[in-house]
Amino acid sequence: MMSVLTIGEILVEIMRVSRDTPLSVPAEFIGPYPSGAPAIFADAVAKLGFPSSIIGAVGDDEFGMLVLNRLRSDGVDVSRVKILGNYLTGIAFISYFSDGSRRFIFHLRQSASSKISVKDIDADHIARFKHLHIMGSALLIARCVREACYKAVEIARGIGITVSFDPNIRLELMPLEKVRKVCEPIIEKADIVLPNIEEIEALTNSRDLNSACDKLLDKGVDIIALKMGSSGSMICKGGWKKHIPAFEVKEVDPTGAGDIYDAAFIVGLLRGWDIEKAGYYANVAGALAVTKFGPMEGCPTHNEVMDFMRRTNPEILRIFEH
């Protein structure tokens, strides 16, 4: 049995070299880098030591081969990734700003990523996995991709496979009111939701984080892992809430850190750990993710996560010894 399946966009990312340079002016870029939130997640799961697979599509071009070669080399099963001759691999252009914000231009709706459909979702294939992870960005690309994700979640829940959801809201792809509507069917069936602060506020229309978490729990979500950037994370289950402090690192590139956090949290649970232990593990993985330039470049291995804890905060290792 495989461990973790995800579905969605596989793309390359081309990034501004310097911060505070808008995409509307000529300036230097660097890349392409392998990217796409589901692809980053799948790569991180594999590097952390668990069998990982992705359903997606790329163009029959060098960008597509770049990402597929990276996923394969890191141990991701890409046997369900289509290579389409009539479409280009997805592309994202990104610029960073000193206030922590980012700006994106996506080539997704006309790319190979938009050609995932319910025909690609097979119940027998999904039954091979222990866990299904869905990214909100995949829901925003095209209706056919959204319906594929809905079908996969329906199958997974029907046969007892756990489901997690990262809203990964991209307003460049869809306005907020519609985002809420398309995310709702997944939230209602998800066991675990992993939003950041802006996303949980947007989805619940609440700026009080405790209230926002309670609203999601009231919808039937079992666990919330709230990503809070430099403030760490907060794990919620029922009436229990626990703040997990951040680990201090020098940030180079934040892209992909949330996806890698997701992967580490899910891997922690699949290891049989309790949610607090999984939260510490995910915080370290997310911290290491920002230390290298490029969305997948900071994906750590399990040993790298544990070595970082041992070097920087050895007392936390006591939690992992029980």
User: Domains (ranges, CATH) in the chain?
Assistant: 4-320 (3.40.1190.20)
Predicted confidence band of residue 216 (pLDDT cuts 50, 70, 90): very high
| pLDDT mean across residues, the chain | 94
59 phi and psi angles, rounded to 5 deg: -80, 165
pLDDT (average), residues 82-97: 96
229-280 pLDDT, tens digit per residue, is: 989 999 999 889 999 999 989 988 888 999 999 999 999 999 999 999 999 9
Predicted confidence band of residue 1 (pLDDT cuts 50, 70, 90): low
CA atoms within 13 A on the CB side of 312: 14
Query: Does pLDDT of 322 surpass 70?
Result: no
% the chain with pLDDT above 70: 99
pLDDT value for 239: 82
pLDDT value for 315: 79
pLDDT (average), residues 58-65: 98
Nearest to 302 by CA among 49, 12, 32, 38: 49
Structure tokens at 275: 């949610």
Query: Does pLDDT of 317 surpass 80?
Result: no
User: How many Å apart are CA 277 and CA 267, to the nearest integer?
Assistant: 11
pLDDT value for 173: 85
Q: Measured between alpha carbons, how far is residue 166 from residues 16, 80, 268 in Å?
A: 26, 22, 16
Nearest to 93 by CA among 176, 165, 14: 14
168-202 pLDDT, tens digit per residue, is: 998 888 889 999 999 999 999 999 999 999 999 99
Question: β-strand 4-7 against 52-59: which pairing, if any?
Answer: parallel
pLDDT (average), residues 291-313: 92
pLDDT value for 276: 94
* Structural contact between residues 48 and 290, judged by C-beta atoms closer than 8 angstroms: no
Query: Does pLDDT of 78 surpass 80?
Result: yes
Helix extents (H) in 60-142: 62-73, 123-126, 136-141
pLDDT (average), residues 59-87: 98
User: How many Å apart are CA 250 and CA 49, to the nearest integer?
Assistant: 25
User: How many Å apart are CA 41 and CA 56, to the nearest integer?
Assistant: 13
158-176 pLDDT, tens digit per residue, is: 999 999 999 999 888 888 9
pLDDT (average), residues 89-105: 91
More confident residue, 319 or 105: 105
Question: β-strand 162-166 against 131-135: which pairing, if any?
Answer: parallel
Q: Measured between alpha carbons, how far is residue 93 from residues 11, 15, 103, 230, 255 in Å?
A: 11, 6, 8, 25, 12
Residue 32: asked if its preceding bond is cis (omega within 30°), the reply is: yes
181: Cα separation from own chain's centroid: 20
pLDDT value for 226: 97
Nearest to 83 by CA among 98, 68, 103: 68
pLDDT value for 267: 97
Helix then strand count (H, E) for the chain reads 12, 14
Strands (E), 2-69: 4-7, 11-16, 29-35, 52-59
Burial 143-172 (b: 16+ CB within 10 A, else e): eebbebbbbbbebbbeeebbbbbbbbbbee
